[in-house]
Amino acid sequence: MAYPDGLLAADEYVVVHKHPHWKMLVVPVLVLFVVVGGGSYLAALAATTSWRVPVWIALGAVGAILIIWCTLAPLVRWRTTHFVVTTHRLMVREGVFTRTGVDIPMSRINSVRFRHGLLDRLLGCGTLIVESASDEPLEFDDIPQVEKVHTLLYREVTDDALDE
């Protein structure tokens, strides 16, 4: 999926566009399975009682709230988080109702590093660390194919420095 062209300058194009790694969705999916399985089990237990309908309604309401809060919200948050490297800048956009964004011009980036442990290496993700003219380095967690993104971002930074 390409990043919206309306947000890019006339001579700017997208080099990399990523969402966070899918590993951040593991816990929400496990919560979904536990809620559905536990709710089904409790509904089956309540089926033999005379007050089964109110119990089923309560289980359905609690289950729906848990699924919306613990599964759908993280899924929408994952889907609306964008990590974009263009020819002119690094952009990060996150949020559903309250959007936040960071733009770093390529000319302001001093260094680019990455870090990933054994699990991240097995899953193919990691943390990208960007040092810019600001005081503290920015860390972007769960970037898929972090080594490739690191290389592409470094190339864009050095290409931008050569163009000046």
SS3 letters across 5-20: HHHCCCCCCEEEEECC
The CATH number assigned to the domain holding 133 equals 2.30.29.30
Mean pLDDT of the chain: 90
In a domain, 4, yes or no: no
Examine the domain organization and report whether 86 and 159 are in the same domain. yes
What percentage of the chain has pLDDT greater than the value 70? Answer: 94
Examine the domain organization and report whether 35 and 91 are in the same domain. no
**Per-residue confidence (pLDDT) for residue 66, from 0 to 100:** 97
In a domain, 104, yes or no: yes
Mean pLDDT of 82-103: 90
**Per-residue confidence (pLDDT) for residue 39, from 0 to 100:** 95
Examine the domain organization and report whether 109 and 67 are in the same domain. no
Into how many domains does the chain fold?
2
In a domain, 40, yes or no: yes
Distances from the Cα of 115 to the Cα of 66, 83, 112, 121, 137, angstroms: 34, 17, 11, 9, 13
* Threshold 0.85, pTM exceeds: no
Tens digits of residue pLDDT in 114-152: 999 999 999 999 999 999 877 788 999 999 999 999 999
Examine the domain organization and report whether 36 and 90 are in the same domain. no
Structural domain harbouring 124: 14-19+82-163
Tokens (6 digits) for 126: 């990691």
